[in-house]
Every structure is written in structure tokens, then in C-alpha cells.
Structure 1
């Protein structure tokens, strides 16, 4: 992009922000003209992309209380087309139904949610790179650190500052205050076709100021939370991820370790996929462990998972671990939800009823249902029917590790007592008709 086109782009940014500030103060072009002493015709040309004079920029900035933003924009050169999407994963496998859903949708907001380790970010990046031609004005990306072990979630204003900088606004042109930053962002993208990826979102409150209103923009959010209020307000397309299919899980392992090596141990590959619970992160870690050791049999890893414990084995040599990813979600729970989640690890079956969970935690049915629904919203359990919930087997193993010694005995006793009573309640009464 040459200097001339960059200057024209900066002038367009100035004009958009001038129009927004003028309208926000309820001024017509003629009204602003009377205040600052420039003709309405000249102001109209500036709002439509004519470069402003330094005198006009200062007058508008002072009278519209822009805090230096208009002066900075007048002196700026628009940045090149932003292209912030990180590289996607090379060996991407599966999720064909979800990719087709994204391809065929005309939604301007998409929420990709699901449990930890299901590949939400990878799906967003895969589709973003695939659909890049649909967004000729570029892509914006930010990791909002909603579930980060060592860092706090990104403040919305900080995210907006990064976006505004990428769109050509100099540091001294970024307004103070969240609302003004958000308004400037929406103005700058109003006539653009941009893809905005908000990765690893913590909450609806975090992402709401970052949503563009432009019809040509699409925002893709990934989160372990459901972001329900955003879904309602934005009429968002929801794409919920879970474990992969067994066939795709096997295909992923084969892709990583190589077809020749996988062909030698087809049954072991199938067993490895099952031991990983068909969870994408676990599958990739397991496959990378096999790949890293050329003389390592797939069957060796399967046996190690059985003997040493899956969560201990499912870690890479640079400390990427399934357990760590689960930790990020667990630490965000309040005390009541965290206790319920831990105790669910004591239940051995794949499903648990609300009644059994209530007994396990020593709660009423209503209180247990509330906590289970909150865990479902955080994608740590899954609703599996009326008053029935399901816990992924790796999450159940992780939850069981967290149970304190003084919790275990009383909780198991309550659960066993409840199941014994449940069996008695289900027995036909004497004399009852068959």
C-alpha cells in the first residue's frame, strides 16, 4: 500500500470519527459549522474522506471534546489491512459437520463453545483461514485469556486498544474510556468486511464491547462458557463441540504418527483413541508421544495409560497437559460448584441422576439441580436427559483426584444409602398387579 492510499485511509478514519462525535452531540453539519467557523460543505467533504486541515482537526477536537483523538487521526496514516489470525494446525482432522455449518451460515456472530480440550480454537482458526476471501478488509484476533492459569482475563478496553491500533489509530488517538473506545471501533469497521475472532472468552460481559455492528463483519467467539446473553442479543449461531467420533479420532492418530506406523498396530490405535476418551487434546498429546519415540509401540502407551493413570501420562515433554487444561476451568468455579464437581468424580457410572448427585453432595434436589446446571453451562458436565447428567471419563478421573480425604467417606456413604433406598422404591409393592 503506497503513501497516498494510506493517507486516504487515515482521512476516511478521521471522517468516520468526526461524524460519530458530531452526531453523538446532536449537532448537524450546519450546527457544527457555526461553532467552529468552517463551512458545512467543507465539513461534509471531510466526513466523506477529504483530508482535514490541521486547523479543522484542532477545532473539531476541542469543540467535540475528543481528547486529542481527532488531532491524532488527522496526523495518522492508516495501517495496512490487518491479518492477525494465528497459523492454524497443519494436521487438522474431522469436524466436517461443524465446518459446513459455518460455511453455510449467514450469521454475523458465532459462538463455538464446549468442554476444555475439544479444539474450539483450532476450529475457529481452521474456518477463519478457509473463509479468508470473504473478508477482504482483513482479520482481527485476540486471545482474551478467559481460562488462563497465570494471567487475568483481558480487559475489554485493552482488547479494543489493540484492535484500534491494528486499524491505524495511533496511541495518542485512542480515546479514554471503554464506551468511547467501543464506539470508535464500531465506527471504524462500519463499512468494512472484517473477521473478528475473540478467542478464549471468559464471559458475555467481556466480549459485548468488542462486537462490531457492521453488516459486513463476522465475529467468532470461542469459550468454555455458553455466553448465553450474547447468544440471545446477537442471534448468534452456536456450535457446541464435544469429543470427536471414534473414526475421526483414529484418523487423527494415524495422521500424526503416520499411516505406515499405524498400519502395524491397528487395534492398538483403536484402543488408544478410546483411552483418550476421543478428546482432541488428549488424542494429539498421545499421538505426539508416540511420534516422539520412534521405537515406542502404540500398545506400550496404551498399557502405560492403564497402569500409570491417564492424566499422568497425557502430557507432552514441554508440559502441555490435559490435567492443566482442566485446572483452568476448575479454578473459575465458585466453592459450591467446585465441591459438586469434585464429588461427581466419586460416581463410577457414565451418567448420574439429579437425585444421586443431591445425595452425594448432601443437598436438596433443587440445590443440586442448580449446581449441575451451572456446571453444564461451564461445559464440565453435559445434560443427558431429564434430571440426568454425563461427565466425560477424563473429567471424572480428574474430579476424583480433587476429592479431599474428609469428603470421600461421607459422600460415598450418602450415595450408597441413596441407591439402596432407590432400589427399594423401585420394587413392586406386595400385592401389586404385575
Structure 2
């Protein structure tokens, strides 16, 4: 450093001043503390790196040693702290003096041999300094956002919520929704809109909470990656998770950054990655409702409105491929996809990759209930694969509840549709392929699962928390039709004996819904169900067992 040494917490001090006299010699403890803070080490970490007892480090920093430190200890400390030649000279000079009496740290202005201002406490973190001049380097400005989603449609209400920032506080927004609802697409689209407000950059981290073939990201490893992107050298990153999280908050303090944490598993994975002070906006996506994040705004995604769903399909398939299709056919097709963005994009991809197909042909394929989920796939991407990831996160009791509730909701829909086919028309034979379906009451679920009402309620709440169920009306739970179909398929695959057992033995009780809800949530051929005989809401309380309820296996 060409004759000048960077005094921790102070300005540049002339090397001659350090050696001028014993009185001008700074306290060894203050020097060590400052260099240790600069290296982002705890006392324990410094002791381990130097091969010394942590009590020795504490006594050195407290100027409590009764004799001078040994030259070997000084050399080990210098190596552990990464000191340059000038700093090693200062450390050796200070350590060779008489054991200090009460420390009197002094802050010397640059070029001066004496001064009276006390040294302020060292700051926890400072940007790296140039090796020659000691001047702070400009912190990096990461720009990590992936490209915006092509053909993004709708979600204006949600985008409005995400755009309302409170600059006085750290803003955290958690976006939740079922698999395929478009959470990542929304977060990225919003982030690109908001990025100009954050001059210090943006971070994007895939936490792999629900990724096929990958375990959820460890927050400790994630922090190491993020700290590296923020300019912290690898050797300066602490080992312990809490220390890394504290350093991360220190580095972000005073910056205005946008942080996207995508595909989170749960609150525990996310919490260490949240900034500690104002100025940053954090957008989180997860299939779970992260209600354990104090102060976070919650944005829950549902299926698309019909008009937006048609626009998404048209954009994804190509306007030329749908130009000759009737609007009624397009509406029915996206209803068959459950108005779910992932399913709509997959159906559009199927049409685009089969030039001989037409919209009516694709619609006919989707109308076959037994092959519906099989049609909604392209390459490695499918609705089934997305729902499989959610299913695997459930414990055995929750999986069983998911299978049985889906299986018998499917049976209820089929029974109701067949019973009313003469009234409603042929289109109802596939009732419930849209969003609507049989409602599930807690007491009915308890009978179906062979358990108590409190236990059934807890299982329903768990499925609700991970967005495999929704609660459109207080105390009434409902599957999305594609989720229900998936649950029924899992039941057939894993409990074939139960799946083949006849269940419904009496006419279901009908519950009338508002017409607007029926039109949005029913998959009929572009028209609502007959108002007095709507099979889209069927309380499972009207189900009777032909023999016995399923076993508890």
C-alpha cells in the first residue's frame, strides 16, 4: 500500500507515524478487531483459521494479555487475516511493544502523526478496497432477471398490487397458487416493470422447492452464491448460516435492489434471504401459502378469466392456427384446460407442433376424460408432472386423503352428469372438467376418510395450504378439475380395489350456483347448466357407502 496503512475505522495513516513512538502506537486489540471485521470473520473463525485458541483471540482484542504475543502467533494471525506487507509490519511493530495498559485507540488523519479523535466502532462490512490506493471499489450491480415471459396475458389486478411499493419499509410479497397457475410468469413480468425503480440491481434465485430431480436449495448455499454476486469474495463468506444471513443484510443495507425468490419450498428456506432494512423489494413465488412470513403481502393466483385464457391460447398457438376456429370452440377448449395457464400453453403447443390438427380436432381429443391429462403434455412438460411434484410433498395421510377425495369427487361428478344428461345435454357428460366440481364438506370428508371431523378438517386445511384444494365458500372445499382428475388417477394406480368399489347409491343433492360462476367454472359447450339442476356443486354428504369406507392403509 506504498507506505500507507488502512487503519480500521479510520483514514489512511502514514507508515512513519505508526513507528514514530510508543505513544503513537495504536492498540493491538483495536487493530485486530478492525482487520477481523474487514475479513468478515468471527473470533471463532479467526481462531480456527489461525490455529489459535479462541481465548487468545479474545484476550488480544481486549488488550488483556499480560505478555507480548509470540512471533509465531503474530505470523499466523497475519496469514489468517490476509494482511499485506505494510499491515504485517504494523502488526509486528504493535505486538513487539510493551503489554498495553488500558487501550486508548486513536484516529489519526491522513498524513498526521498524532490526533485526538477517538476511533469509532468498526463497521460490519465495507466494499472491497483497491490493493494500491485503498479506495473503495464500486459494488457490482447485478442484473440477473431472466427474459420476460413472451405473450404474457392479463393479471392486471395482481400486477397493480405488486406495483404498490412502500419505500419506507422492506417490501415482501409472496405469490402463491396451484401448479401451473403462472406464478413465475407473473413475478418475472412484474419484476421487469419494476426494475427501473431499483438502480442497485436485481437478483433472481430459483430455490427449486418443487423441481423434478432436484432437492430444494439449501439457504446456506444460496447465500454464498448471492453474496458472491454482490461482490463479497469467497474467502470472506462466513461458514455459519446465521452469519451469512447477517452479512447479506449488511451488504444490502442502503441499497435499492429487486430480489426474486422463485419456487420456494417454505418459509424456513426463504427467511434467511430477506433483506433487513428498507429499500429492497422481494418477490417470492411458491405453491404453498407462506403465511408464516410476518408482514409479507399475500397474492394468491387463481385460474384465468375466460377472455384472458382465449387470448393466451391464441397467442401461444399462433393467430394463423386459430383464425378459422369459432369463438365458441376456443372457449370450450380453454375450459377443457381448466383455464389453467400451464394447461393452455401445453394445448397450444400441441396444436402448433401438429400442423394437420385443427382446433375442433384438439377439442375432441380433450373431451375424452380418460385421456385428458395425457393430452396436456409436450416433451418433459405436462400437467401430470407438475402435480406429481405437489403430491410428493404430502405425507402419507395427506396423500391418502388427496386420492380418496379426488376419486369420489370424480365419481360424484360423473354420477350427477349421467343422471341429468337428458336435461342438460350431451355436453354435461364431462361435467367438472373446468374449475368447478363437487363440493366437499368437512363432516362428509371425515366419513369418507374414516376419521374424526377435527382430523379431516386438518387434512383439508393442509391440502388447501399447498393449493391442491380451494375453499370457494366457507366450509366447502373443491378441487380444480385437473387436480381432481390427477387425484383420481393416483387412486386408481395405488388403490385399485378402492377405485373399483361402487360408492354412490342415491341421487345427489344439487346446490345451485350463481350463473356467472357456472359459466366461468363449467366446461359445457359454451352454455351454462340448467339452473335448477346444476351438477357442478355436489355435497359429498349425499354419498352413501355400498359396503364399507376405504381402509386406513
Aligned to 1:331: 392
Q: CA deviation at 1:50?
A: 9.1
Question: SS of 2:366's equivalent?
Answer: helix
Q: Which moved more, 1:118-127 or 1:38-47?
A: 38-47
CA distance in 2, matches of 1:262, 1:416: 44
Q: Which moved more, 1:194-203 or 1:342-351?
A: 342-351
- The answer as to whether partners of 2:174 and 2:285 remain within 8 angstroms in 1 is yes
CA distance in 1, matches of 2:127, 2:444: 70
CA distance in 2, matches of 1:289, 1:137: 42
1:86 counterpart = 2:146: yes
Aligned to 1:25: none
CA distance in 1, matches of 2:179, 2:149: 17
**More helix as a share of residues:** 1
Aligned to 2:496: 405
Aligned to 2:466: 378
Aligned to 2:456: 368
- The answer as to whether partners of 2:266 and 2:290 remain within 8 angstroms in 1 is yes
Aligned to 2:200: 137
Q: Which moved more, 1:328-337 or 1:253-262?
A: 253-262
Aligned to 2:182: 119
Aligned to 1:305: 366
Match of 1:213 among 253, 263, 276: 276
1:352 counterpart = 2:440: yes
CA distance in 2, matches of 1:126, 1:99: 8
1:39 counterpart = 2:106: yes
Question: SS of 2:209's equivalent?
Answer: coil
Q: Kindly tell me: are residues 133 and 326 of structure 1, through their superposed partners in 2, closer, same or farther at Cα, counting changes over 3 Å? A: same
Q: CA deviation at 1:402?
A: 0.6
Q: CA deviation at 1:368?
A: 0.8
Q: Which moved more, 1:112-121 or 1:263-272?
A: 263-272
Q: Kindly tell me: are residues 267 and 169 of structure 1, through their superposed partners in 2, closer, same or farther at Cα, counting changes over 3 Å? A: same
1:394 counterpart = 2:482: yes
1:154 counterpart = 2:217: yes
Q: Kindly tell me: are residues 418 and 181 of structure 1, through their superposed partners in 2, closer, same or farther at Cα, counting changes over 3 Å? A: farther
The gaps in structure 1 that reach 5 residues or longer are 1-10, 23-30, 55-73, 426-434
Q: Kindly tell me: are residues 392 and 50 of structure 1, through their superposed partners in 2, closer, same or farther at Cα, counting changes over 3 Å? A: closer
CA distance in 2, matches of 1:137, 1:256: 34
Match of 1:238 among 288, 293, 298: 298
CA distance in 2, matches of 1:423, 1:288: 41
CA distance in 1, matches of 2:181, 2:441: 25
Q: CA deviation at 1:128?
A: 0.4
Aligned to 2:248: 185
Question: SS of 1:209's equivalent?
Answer: helix
Max Rg structure: 2
Q: Kindly tell me: are residues 423 and 191 of structure 1, through their superposed partners in 2, closer, same or farther at Cα, counting changes over 3 Å? A: closer
Q: CA deviation at 1:268?
A: 2.1
Q: Kindly tell me: are residues 424 and 142 of structure 1, through their superposed partners in 2, closer, same or farther at Cα, counting changes over 3 Å? A: closer
CA distance in 2, matches of 1:424, 1:176: 57
Q: Kindly tell me: are residues 143 and 242 of structure 1, through their superposed partners in 2, closer, same or farther at Cα, counting changes over 3 Å? A: same
The gaps in structure 2 that reach 5 residues or longer are 1-10, 12-33, 43-59, 65-90, 95-104, 110-118, 414-436, 510-539, 545-553
Aligned to 1:273: 334
- The answer as to whether partners of 2:127 and 2:138 remain within 8 angstroms in 1 is no
Q: CA deviation at 1:360?
A: 1.8
- Residue correspondences, number: 382
CA distance in 2, matches of 1:167, 1:16: 20
- The answer as to whether partners of 1:243 and 1:278 remain within 8 angstroms in 2 is yes
CA distance in 2, matches of 1:45, 1:202: 39
Q: Kindly tell me: are residues 344 and 236 of structure 1, through their superposed partners in 2, closer, same or farther at Cα, counting changes over 3 Å? A: same
CA distance in 1, matches of 2:194, 2:459: 39
Aligned to 2:230: 167
Match of 1:262 among 322, 331, 334: 322
- The answer as to whether partners of 2:127 and 2:139 remain within 8 angstroms in 1 is no
Question: SS of 2:204's equivalent?
Answer: strand
Report the aligned-residue RMSD. Answer: 3.4
Aligned to 1:283: 344
1:340 counterpart = 2:387: no
TM-score w.r.t. the length of structure 2 is 0.63
Q: Kindly tell me: are residues 242 and 15 of structure 1, through their superposed partners in 2, closer, same or farther at Cα, counting changes over 3 Å? A: farther
